[in-house]
A and B are shown apart, each in its own frame.
Chain A
Amino acid sequence: MTPVPSPELFSADGMAGLIFLIMIGVTLAGGFIAATAERLVRALSGIVICFTGVAGFYYFLNSPFMAMMQILIYVGAICVTISFAIMLAAPEQQLKSSPSNLLSGPLGFMIAALIFGGMSALALTTEWQASPKTASGSVREIGIHLLTTYSMIFELISIVLLIAIIGAIVIARGGRN
């Protein structure tokens, strides 16, 4: 494996690399905050930062549609829903419970370390080859694929969402007498 020469900082590649590193930093920092925060709301803010970083990756990898969807759905919908859940369920700010069993203590740490080691070994030893570009990643391509190649999945997702909406209406109606 020959090492790739690192580009100049003030060139197009260098700036792109810098932005890539910043995105990695944002994602990792968000994840770290989410995992270690004492309060649930701070953990949620961490998730928001993490998702924004991932959206940055998508944008960096030339699929702006995915990036915008990541922000719109994960930050705008899922995180807002989680925060409503936190507000409704835990009006007092609940502190993180201390690890009580073996699984969340040393054993969990060991498993995480093993997975990390395995993944790193895999990433470093594999001969990476750029896979051929299959589509341009534009909205048009995504739309065509969703309605032809993956139409089954698309329809299934619609049904799942429909069931979720009906379920929400049933639950909301049930409480109202």
Chain B
Amino acid sequence: MSLTLFNVILAVFIAICFVGANAAYLVWCERKGAGLFQRRPGPMENGPWGLLQPPVDGVKLMTKQLLIPGGVDKAIFMVAPVLAMFPALISFVTIPFSDNIVAHPIDVGVLMIFAFAALGGMSLLVAGWGSRNKYSMISSVRAVSQTVAYEIPLMITTITIVMISGSLNLSDIVQTQLGGFWSWNIWPLQKQVGFNLLMPVSFLILFVCSVAETNRAPFDLGEAESELVAGFHTEYSSMGFGLFFMGEYANIVIGACLTVILFLGGWACPVGDLGFFPFTHHVGWFLLKIYLIIFVFIWIRWTFPRTTIYGLLNLSWKYLIPISLFNLLLTAGLLKVF
């Protein structure tokens, strides 16, 4: 694909539209899901099944006053929401939606997603500090220590997959899992994963880490509203809050994409190559898979109560990191043997 200015602008425009539409309608899904799990209807007044709720909410957010409290560190306060949104957008550049729909398949795609996720962690810190508010401060320290803790098992698990596929390029990782659902990396008994019995466990680790990395319940200690008002975005109103919100949902989509690409075959069809439906063939499967994962995210959020910060950090440092390290060594050994 030639990288002309027009293509770049088009790709950026599509990415922003995708992120915006996702943020808006995932909120609707979230509320409908909450309704489903708590036996109530959820949004239903605006439009059929409440489908007009997101645009109405958007208009409300944009027309609200952008309030900057007197005591805040203004420059930092203003930069933080942008810093939350921008890395999430950039990560979409390298995600392969199908064998030919990918903005720029750079060779270090996996690394790029992690690098910009780290930048996103920085935004929480900056937001909490800039707000000059004790609750925001505590929340941002919590959120960052959580992000740092869960980045480690996430990366170690990803290294396992990178060893199996022999590439850091997300498209190549998908290419190794073609040919039906039995050749996905999640299944233990195949030659390409070295008959590693712990593959489902490492899928579980990756999934738990991506829930924790996106600061979602039951790991949403950063915005524990019973203790910390609203966490790091307490002082933000209007679109400042809106940007944090969109960034969060964009991160959820990226987490789901990463899970699907690394373990569930990316855009590959679960039953071999179905040539006859051009749309459902690739993009359709990919979207279906990521929205299934996101449904599980929502399901977990409205089912489990919030953990404590100690429980959260213990889970990562005492269980997930040792298990993922062991799995890394085991995979390396098994790949050498078989």
Contact = CB atoms under 8 A, between A and B. Distances in A.
A127 B121 CA distance: 44
A17 interface: no
Interface SS majority for chain B: helix
Nearest to A10: B5
A72 interface: yes
Contacts of A42: 73, 75-76
A68 B129 contact: no
A65 B76 CA distance: 29
Given A64-B107, A80-B122, A80-B144, A72 B76 contact: no
Contacts of B121: 76, 80
B73 A80 contact: no
A75 B107 contact: no
A48 B115 CA distance: 13
Contacts of A84: 141, 144
B125 A80 contact: yes
B106 A76 contact: no
B283 interface: no
B16 to A, nearest CB: 20
- Of the candidates A76, A77, A139, the one having the most CB atoms from chain B within 10 angstroms of its own CB is A76
Nearest to A37: B75
B245 interface: no
A15 B118 contact: no
A139 B107 contact: yes
Interface in B141-168: 141, 144, 148, 151, 168
Interface in A19-73: 39, 41-42, 45, 48, 52, 64-65, 68-69, 71-72
B119 A68 contact: no
A75 B122 contact: yes
Contacts of B106: 64
Interface residues of A, number: 24
B129 A76 contact: no
B101 interface: no
B34 interface: no
B118 A76 contact: yes
B111 A45 contact: no
Contact of A71 (B75, B118, B148, B151): B118
A79 B75 CA distance: 18
B36 interface: no
Query: Which of the listed residues A45, A65, A84, A139 has the most CB atoms from chain B within 10 Å of its own CB?
Result: A45
B73 A68 contact: no
B76 A80 contact: no
B122 A68 contact: no
Nearest to A33: B75
B112 interface: yes
Contact of A139 (B108, B112, B118, B144): B108
Interface of A: 15, 39, 41-42, 45, 48, 52, 64-65, 68-69, 71-72, 75-77, 79-80, 83-84, 87, 93, 138-139
8 contacts: A41-B73, A68-B108, A68-B114, A72-B111, A75-B122, A77-B118, A77-B148, A139-B107
Q: Which 7 A-B pairs have the closest CB atoms?
A: A76-B118, A71-B115, A68-B111, A72-B115, A68-B115, A64-B108, A65-B108
